Chains A and B, each alone.
Chain A
Amino acid sequence: MQLPELLKSIRLDRWLIHRLISKGLVPREATQEILEQTSIHPDRKTVFYYLERFLVGTGVLFVLSGIIFFFAYNWFELSRFLKLGMVQFASLVLTIVLLLRKEWTFIDKLLLISLSVLVGVQFAVFGQIYQTGANAFSFFWFWFLSISLWVWVSRSPLLWFLYQCLGNAVLFTYLIQYSVGEYRPEISIIPALVNLASLVAWEYVYLTHGWSHKYRWLIRLVALSGTYFLWVSFISNILDDLGANNQIGSVLFLMAIPLGIWVYTQKIRDLMIVTLLYLALISASVAYVFRVLTADSWMNAFFFSGILSIVGTMLAGYHIRELYNKWKDLN
């Protein structure tokens, strides 16, 4: 490769500049100028952009938490009218402000998220005042339903994240309260399947609608929750001897993880998700080996599990490095 092409393939970052200066390739006197020209030191416009978002975002978070704590403090001394009125007044103000706004900016998304949280607070307050007999499932379920329309029109990943969390809460409370009656590790299979189905949907939307790469964090979080629930199901089966009840979870885990690795290396390129799947696979294999070997000798179990962790991680690392080099050329 010729020098200009070689140099073109290297993106400038802070640590590269540090190295160039320490090697004497860049004059030390030019440090400030280079850091400014490369935008490593942000300009005034960028500073204002982040500062404003940070201040208003944390401000809203603090005020909402303050309102919730106020209810917790003064519960018995407040009249019904005041309890419901306060939350409804706040919701009404937010709704009017949102309706009057003409553009769809960061602030509007933030107001909509606040409004969605206040809906949950309203349900909680209503349930507490009138003792409706509603349980945790009903609470999450109606909250989930009520904000659905806003979530769909919001185009806000943060609100989608809240929606995803609520969805998981609905599922868990339903399984614990109605289906199984108590918490058991094997119920993780259902949320795992739902989260994996949701992951497929997200990937479809991401690929077909040409979403920006900056929203991948949401998809990665969905992948994390799906993998986590499957992993819990597999690990609890190994360590707790759950027997035939949970075999389906183990089979699913053993099918889904290799399939996931194949999809994310052959069809969709995402190194972080491949890493996550490898970590789940390595830790599950180590747990299995540890469980089997403890029947014979604890010392052997510890030793071979440790060695397997090292070997498994290095093999996975080798694959990840290969993938990086392959994808770098494709990009």
Chain B
Amino acid sequence: MKTLEDLWQVLRKSEHWTDEKQEHLQNFAHSWIKKQENNVALRILSGAGALLAVVFLLGFIALSIRGIDGITLIVFGVICLIASLFTLFVAQDNRVYDTLTLVLNILGQFLIAGGYIWENQGDFLLFLNIALLLQVFVFFVYPNLSLRTMSVIFFQLCLIGILGDWDMRSFIPGLIGLISWVLTFLVSQEIALLKNTPQLAPFVRPLIYGLSSSLLIDLSISVNKPWYESYVDHWFIATLLIIMAVIVYTSRALLRYNFGTQGIGILTLFVLILLPTWYAPGISASFLLILMGFLGGYPQLLRSGLVGLVYFLFAFYYNIQLSFLFKSLLLSSTGLILIGAYFFIRVIRVQIETKHA
């Protein structure tokens, strides 16, 4: 089954297939073709252009803010948010206008949160709380993949900021571990979610993209040893929770492929591979994304996991304050386990192939 036509040929044979559904499918197909025009290249261009524009326009706002009261800023912010919603609906499925939508939306959020604290002489914590609420609003109201993904990333960044402001920095690794758990839940429970709550389907994609990006973004702070030593500790909690997520996700995937007792061997190997990453949660998070990529069929997660793995390998072993001997032993032993795992997996594959032949 490669195209929608193949699927339609199967569906139309069902007794539940009606003329009304046929018409519905035709309309849907037309709108989907329109959506296909919003290819990856266009999304990258819009995102990068929006980022550039936001930087300059925020600079303009910072220079022109003098003498303007908070209420005016909030009003301008609301106008920007309404305008971004307007461009989204006027442009419908045309992502050429994404740059404008993204810029208006981000500026609107800044102006509202900034205007509120300006008016009430509030602090950064208040700014974060308002930004947090705005992310929820954007996620549910704006039917746009880029905006929804961005709101997921900003939401958890605001949570980290709030934890930092409350002097609860030790909870940050726990929060990162929790993100890996939510992501694992979404990816492994895909079928159950679609069966029980099909109306939530449009939110799944931005959630998966947003949470996977968040994992890598958040853990990039954990590689800077001097910083995290003074502000955040107990990074191993993040590693522990991520390893648990790997175990849960892999065991579910192995059950799906009926690996039987050999699955226990594979699972043990994965845990062995991840144990040396105790001080390096970024590596275990990248490993989780790579696993999800090829076991669940998510090429985007696979690519980001591979990029993350290369980055975290360099960053951790450059920054971690361990002796060269320890680093060397850690790397070599992990490498040998990985190569051993390769031979072990080959044996299992041959066994399974002979069993099914």
A residues near B, CB below 8 A?
3-4, 6-12, 14-16, 18-29, 31-32, 34-35, 37-42, 44, 46-48, 50-52, 54-56, 58-67, 69-70, 72-74, 271-272, 274-275, 278-279, 282-283, 286, 290, 298-299, 302-303, 305-307, 309-310, 312-314, 316-318, 320-321, 324-325
Q: Which secondary structure dominates chain B's binding surface? A: helix
- In whole angstroms, what is the CA distance A69 to B334 when docked? 14
Assuming the A-B contacts A24-B198, A70-B325, A299-B63, are A316 and B335 also in contact, with contact meaning beta carbons closer than 8 angstroms in the complex?
no
Q: Which 8 A-B pairs have the closest CB atoms?
A: A313-B49, A62-B335, A73-B324, A66-B332, A59-B338, A63-B335, A306-B56, A66-B331
B194 adjacent to A31 (CB under 8 Å): yes
Q: Which secondary structure dominates chain A's binding surface? A: helix
Whether, in the assembled complex, B336 has its beta carbon less than 8 Å from a beta carbon of chain A, the answer is yes
Assuming the A-B contacts A14-B297, A25-B24, A317-B45, are A65 and B331 also in contact, with contact meaning beta carbons closer than 8 angstroms in the complex?
yes
Assuming the A-B contacts A32-B191, A313-B45, A324-B37, are A42 and B295 also in contact, with contact meaning beta carbons closer than 8 angstroms in the complex?
yes
B198 adjacent to A28 (CB under 8 Å): yes
- For A8, the closest partner residue in chain B by CB is B5
Q: Which residues of A contact B294 (CB under 8 A)?
A: 42, 46-47, 50-51, 54
- For B276, the closest partner residue in chain A by CB is A62
- For A11, the closest partner residue in chain B by CB is B3
Partner of A316, one of B45, B57, B63, B295: B45
Q: Which residues of B contact A21 (CB under 8 A)?
A: 194, 198, 201
> Among B8, B41, B256, B257, which residue has the most Cβ atoms of chain A within 10 A?
B41
B residues near A, CB below 8 A?
1-8, 11, 14, 16, 21-22, 24-26, 28-30, 32-33, 36-42, 44-46, 48-50, 52-57, 59-60, 63-64, 94-100, 103, 190-191, 194-195, 198-202, 204-205, 253, 256-257, 290, 294-298, 309, 313, 317, 323-325, 327-339, 341-342, 345-346, 349, 352
Partner of A306, one of B53, B253, B309: B53
- For B57, the closest partner residue in chain A by CB is A306
Assuming the A-B contacts A7-B4, A271-B41, A314-B96, are A299 and B324 also in contact, with contact meaning beta carbons closer than 8 angstroms in the complex?
no
B52 adjacent to A309 (CB under 8 Å): yes
- In whole angstroms, what is the CA distance A6 to B8 when docked? 11
- In whole angstroms, what is the CA distance A10 to B1 when docked? 12
Assuming the A-B contacts A28-B198, A56-B338, A72-B324, are A7 and B3 also in contact, with contact meaning beta carbons closer than 8 angstroms in the complex?
yes
